[in-house]
Amino acid sequence: MEYQNGEVVVTPHTIYWVQMPVNITENDKIELLKRDILIIDCSYVIEDFPKLIEKLDKNVAFFYNLDRILGKSKIDNEIVMSSKIAKFISKFAPEKSIIHTSLLNETIRDLFRSEGLIYLEKNLNDKVGAVNIVLELIKPIFSEENTVRRAFLRVNLYPAIKYKVEIVSNASGVPITHCYLKDISLNGIGVLLLDKKEIMYFSLKESVQVKIYTPTSILKIPGAFITRRDEDKGELGFNYNINDRGMIKEETAAFLTKIVYKWTQDIINQHGRLG
């Protein structure tokens, strides 16, 4: 799927978190995105739940913060409201839904579990606990044959945004400076060579240093590997581990991640979902 400023290659694992705990910050969401987990905050009450139906996709799951849902709904009876929520989820996407609460109420617990739903009695107001729960639940929710598929986004920048790039082979030390940053993902970048003949200086699996020149800084990737080489288009693709500071500097990782995160959020805001 193509958009004006980017291309979805594979969507990340996306969680629509209904009444997300307030302790989850933007930085937490960016760190989770590095692990291919996109968190979307849905400040819905029960009347808004039908809006979730259009967001359903194979790469999507739903978390429901029962405490905040009940607290923000105009209700006289928590049992009656909980029953309505349980019945909606059981008919909508039970296998992709997680309900969590700090309530220790046996009647409410039985309502959800009688519908075959995952119901966690955990206080996720602790930030570390909340992030860890997300990571723990990814495998059972998204696994296919006990394997979680690796997912990533590639965002096209060129020609709308032109960042000059310098590539230096770690083997030969030859610098190439006539090129632009073409696209980025959370595990690599693509570069467009203005002189296609210069691609001859590089080979697949070669280790290189990359510098990206932005208007405010020089971003460094000292340990990338060439994983794509297109002579006809004059393009090179580089991969790295975004959490490995030997391969990519922290400032660079933060810069690239924030571009992907902002673009992803913009697409969600415009289209309701990815894919």
Query: What pLDDT was estimated at residue 156?
Result: 86
- Per the listing, tokens 């992030």 go with 131
pLDDT of residue 72: 86
Determine whether domain 155-266 maps to CATH 3.40.50.510.
no
Contact 153, 186 (CB under 8 A): yes
13, 38 contact by CB (below 8 A): yes
Distance of CA 168 to the CA centre of its chain: 30
How do the pLDDT tens digits run along the chain, 275 residues long?
333 444 444 567 889 999 998 888 887 887 788 777 888 889 999 999 999 998 888 888 999 999 999 988 777 788 999 999 999 999 998 989 999 998 889 999 999 999 999 998 887 766 666 777 787 777 677 766 444 455 556 788 899 899 999 999 888 888 899 999 999 988 889 999 999 999 999 999 899 999 999 999 999 999 999 999 999 999 999 999 888 889 999 999 989 888 888 877 776 666 555 44
Using alpha carbons only, how large is the chain's radius of gyration in Å? Answer: 22
Each domain of the chain, given as residue ranges in start order, spans: 11-151, 155-266
Q: Does domain 11-151 have CATH number 3.40.50.2300?
A: yes
Q: How would you class 158 by CB atoms within 10 Å of its CB: exposed for 0-12, middle for 13-18, buried for 19 or more?
A: middle
Count of H-run helices and E-run strands, the chain: 6, 14
CB 227 within 8 A of CB 239: yes
Same fold, 11-151 and 155-266: no
Q: Closest by alpha carbon to 134, among 254, 17, 272?
A: 17
User: Global pTM?
Assistant: 0.64
Q: What is the pLDDT of residue 1?
A: 34
CA 172 to chain centroid = 36
